[in-house]
Amino acid sequence: AQKITQTQPGMFVQEKEAVTLDCTYDTSDQSYGLFWYKQPSSGEMIFLIYQGSYDEQNATEGRYSLNFQKARKSANLVISASQLGDSAMYFCAMREGRLQGGSEKLVFGKGTKLTVNP
C-alpha cells in the first residue's frame, strides 16, 4: 500500500520569501510519480508540478520546484518569491492502486494551508 503524508497543516510566509511544503510518501513500486496541486478558496484544483521516480533532475516550473529525495521518500515543494496569490491549500498526490475496472487512482495528502503575509 502507498501512503502520502503532509505533516504541516498550516504554514505562514512573508511576501517575496521562499517557502517549503513537505510531502513524504511510502511505496514499494519502482515506477511512480508525485504531483502537487494548489487549491485556492474558490475550489478549483490547479496542477503545479510533477516528478517521476526515474527523473534524474528535480522538476521545476517557474517559481515552483520540487526537492525530490528518493532515498528519503520525500518530494517537498519549494515556492520561491512568494506572492499574495499563493495563499491556498496545497496537496501532494500520487497514484495508489487501481479502481474496479482497472484505472489507476490518484490519492491526495491531507494538504497544507499556506498563508502569504504582506
Partner 1 sequence: DTEVTQTPKHLVMGMTNKKSLKCEQHMGHRAMYWYKQKAKKPPELMFVYSYEKLSINESVPSRFSPECPNSSLLNLHLHALQPEDSALYLCASSQSARLGYEQYFGPGTRLTVT
User: Taking contact as CB under 8 A, which single stretch among the options 18-26, 68-76, 77-85, 101-109 is the one that binds partner 1?
Assistant: 101-109
Considering only 11-19, 38-46, 64-72, 75-83, which stretch makes contact with partner 1 by CB under 8 A?
Answer: 38-46
Count CB atoms within 10 A of the CB of residue 39.
16
Decide if residue 102 touches partner 1 (CB under 8 A): yes
How far apart, in Å, are the Cα atoms of 87 and each of 14, 63, 98, 105?
11, 14, 33, 27
Strand, helix or coil for residue 69: strand
CA 51 to CA 12: how far, in whole Å? 25
The two most distant CA atoms of the chain are separated, in Å, by 48
Please tell me whether residue 95 binds partner 1 under the rule CB under 8 A. Answer: yes
Does position 84 interact with partner 1 (CB under 8 A)? The reply is no
| Residue 107 contacts partner 1 per CB under 8 A | yes
Q: Does 101 bind partner 1 (CB under 8 A)?
A: yes
Amino acid type, 44: E
Complex with partner 1: residue 85 or 118, whichever CB lies closer = 85
Residue 28 binds partner 1 (CB under 8 A): no
Reduced to 3 states (helix: H, G, I; strand: E, B; else coil), residue 85 is helix
Q: Which residues in this chain contact partner 1 in the complex, by CB under 8 A?
A: 31-33, 35, 37, 42-47, 50, 52, 91, 95, 98-111
